[in-house]
Amino acid sequence: MTAPLLEIDRLSIAFATRRGDIPAVADFSLSVAAGEAVGLVGESGCGKSTVALGIMRDLGRAGRISGGTIRFRGRDLATLSGSELRRIRGNDIAMVYQEPMASLNPALRIGRQLMEVPRLHRGASRAEARELAREMVADVGLPDPDRILDAYPHQLSGGQQQRIVIAMALMSRPALLILDEPTTALDVTVEAAIVDLVKGLGRKYGTALLFISHNLGLVLEVCDRICVMYSGEAVEQGPVRHVFDRMRHPYTQALFRSIPLPGADKTTRPLETIPGSFLMPQDRPRGCNFGPRCTHFEPGLCDTAEIAMRPVPGASDHEARCLRFEKIDWQSRPPVPKAAAPGEVGAPVLTVSGLRKYYEVSSGGLFGHRRRKLVRANETLSFEARQSETLAIVGESGCGKSTLAKVLLGLETATAGQVLLDDREVQETPIQKRGPRAVADLQMVFQNPFDTLNPSKRVGGQILRALEVFGVGATRRARRERMFELLDLVRLPRDFADRMPHQLSGGQKQRVGIARAFAGGARIVVADEPVSALDVSVQAAVADLLMDIQRTRRTTLIFISHDLSIVRYLADRVMVMYLGHAVEIGSTAQVFAPPYHPYTEALLSAVPVPDTRVEKTRIVLEGDVPSAIDPPPGCPFQTRCHWKDRVPNGRCARELPPMVELGSGHRILCHLSAEALGEMEPVFRVAAE
């Protein structure tokens, strides 16, 4: 084999702060061969993006490479001058960032931004550059390249924007493409298409990929090799399948055990959370960085000296930063803690029938007659949620799940239909008129942990305010006592009451948000993507906390999510939404097994599963979700459906399908005949071992 394209050798990166240098990356070695795809995974703060910025030598004023070398095609990048570096950046090494809109200049047409690359790096003429840009736009799978080239970034959807960013990165045919969480901001079905695209183009142009992600499933799909980072160090690296099947670092294993793989179950096989919390770089211990959280920690061995990467037998380039991996029994699992028995599912507490919510948006000029347009956010939704049950609402962005939450909570009133809370109609009662009891009964947990708490008020004060508003406790002292009990409930230390939100980690903030929601003894909690913004190891802990509270308080949990893995893990029943319609509803087992609604099938197949034993049928949906202002006629999903030709006479494009009952509460919104549905095969197959 020839010399690798990119060779990072014992790299250290430090950031200068007021309190001295903080080592962000230490002793990091990695090599990427030409045409190879390498995945870099780890939780936020582990230094994976810093490595990427270090390769681009874009560390800002505070950051500097404090040790080691980065060689690209044999040349040390640190010795290059500014102009040589500029030639390499964008030409030989290109980078794609997480937020597509932030990478595109909103004031320039797409065409100009793409043409800039060959004109700058190769001195191509305008016509040549435009031709190249057109080819590239077609290559990234966008229809009608000429229209796209003349569009402004905001006229494209998120998925299309990210395709353009990838096209721009590939315009100069780079030898190395760095992708920093390229799909995190996108929906799952769009993500699947982008991942396919990146894989295909990488092969077509022989581009090496450095794929940075926190999603192990994606890495398994895209990459040949993987490098797991923890706290600024690479802790394990090797061929993807080898690492997934025979992981030899306790952190890698803990990471895998904290994500809901098929087979995990909230009562019999709950997720394992990593004890302790992530340490700030300046607090790193001596010896193994993972030592304080490791179940295999051995004092006197793991905490004496810095630990180097050691080769793992069985594969040529599999190595792990663990001194004890030969002695650890990798198959054993800690005993399952005795979980409280799942609460008996009780009577319906929330019944929704025929709910519709339309918004009116007006367009048109100041003097021209205004055209009123309807946004059909929710179309005839009917479902019920029972006591002590978890109902998951699944769908991609724009499917109307957040609008549904708003209507349920009374922040919006319904356009038509009925919402019964116990046996009171509330669809037309805005929250101010519901009375404190009803408001306290139905509460919400929000998605973004950095946004859910008011940054300028103390944690305790925010919970106290909720208690005051809900009329809990007669005196200040009683409320304070109650606030401490709520902190106990979400397993936070009591002295957190006096902290400001910015002193808390994401998971801790989310716990405070949960405590606040349960302040008035909520009986129904709507959780809008409560864990999707958290790191995987924290996700497990917060999800388990919600389940525990549910078991002890018999709470009804309405769990809104786009993440089907976590939904399968903790939901009792699932409702799948698309463009405002409920397209499928049933128990978790029913929804996750055939017959599926075609959309559910595509959604399931789009979810990356980090398990080498699972075989998946690939169904990649074309295009994007249509707009709710101008929904397609007939079935909402007909524009992207794979099964459409199985329905005679093009009925899908003309008539809205009926809600078909498939037995024991499993209903789908589809024209497909019973035999067509019967032919569906499971999306997942677990290979026999």
Contacts with another protein by CB under 8 A lie at: 18, 79-82, 84, 409, 411, 431-432, 434, 436, 439-440, 443-444, 446-448, 451-457, 465-466, 468-471, 502, 513, 516, 520
Q: How far is the CB of 444 from another protein (least distance, A)?
A: 5
The secondary structure of 169-224, three-state, reads HHCCCCCEEEEECCCCCCCHHHHHHHHHHHHHHHHHHCCEEEEEECCHHHHHHHCC
Query: Residue 220 or residue 444: which is nearer to another protein going by CB?
Result: 444
Query: Residue 18 or residue 371: which is nearer to another protein going by CB?
Result: 18
CA dihedral sign of residues 623, 625, 630, 636: positive
Q: How far is the CB of 469 from another protein (least distance, A)?
A: 5
Query: Residue 33 or residue 85: which is nearer to another protein going by CB?
Result: 85
The SS3 call for residue 515 is helix
Query: Residue 290 or residue 470: which is nearer to another protein going by CB?
Result: 470
Q: How far is the CB of 7 from another protein (least distance, A)?
A: 20
Structure tokens at 553: 């308080």
The SS3 call for residue 12 is strand
Q: How far is the CB of 454 from another protein (least distance, A)?
A: 4
How far apart CA 99 and CA 352 sit, in angstroms, is: 37
**Which of 600, 605, 581, 579 minimizes the C-alpha distance to 590?**
600
Q: How far is the CB of 440 from another protein (least distance, A)?
A: 8
Residue located via tokens 């009792």: 572
Query: Residue 227 or residue 466: which is nearer to another protein going by CB?
Result: 466
Inter-residue long-range contacts of 58-67, CB under 8 Å, 24+ positions, other chains counted: 59/13, 59/15, 62/15, 62/16, 62/17, 63/13, 63/14, 63/15, 63/16, 63/24, 64/13, 64/14, 64/16, 65/11, 65/12, 65/13, 66/12, 66/13, 66/14, 66/21, 66/23, 67/10, 67/11, 67/12
The set of residues, in sequence order, having a beta carbon less than 8 Å from that of 34 and lying 6+ positions away, is 2, 4, 5, 175, 206, 208
Query: Residue 432 or residue 664: which is nearer to another protein going by CB?
Result: 432
Query: Residue 18 or residue 61: which is nearer to another protein going by CB?
Result: 18
- Cα–Cα–Cα angle for 315, 317, 323, nearest 5°? 90
Burial 357-385 (b: 16+ CB within 10 A, else e): bbeeeeeeeeeeeeeeeebbbbbbbbbbb
Query: Residue 246 or residue 465: which is nearer to another protein going by CB?
Result: 465
**Which of 129, 137, 122 minimizes the C-alpha distance to 170?**
137
Q: How far is the CB of 551 from another protein (least distance, A)?
A: 24
Query: Residue 18 or residue 327: which is nearer to another protein going by CB?
Result: 18
Q: How far is the CB of 450 from another protein (least distance, A)?
A: 9
Query: Residue 54 or residue 270: which is nearer to another protein going by CB?
Result: 54
DSSP code string of 472-491: --SSHHHHHHHHHHHHHHTT
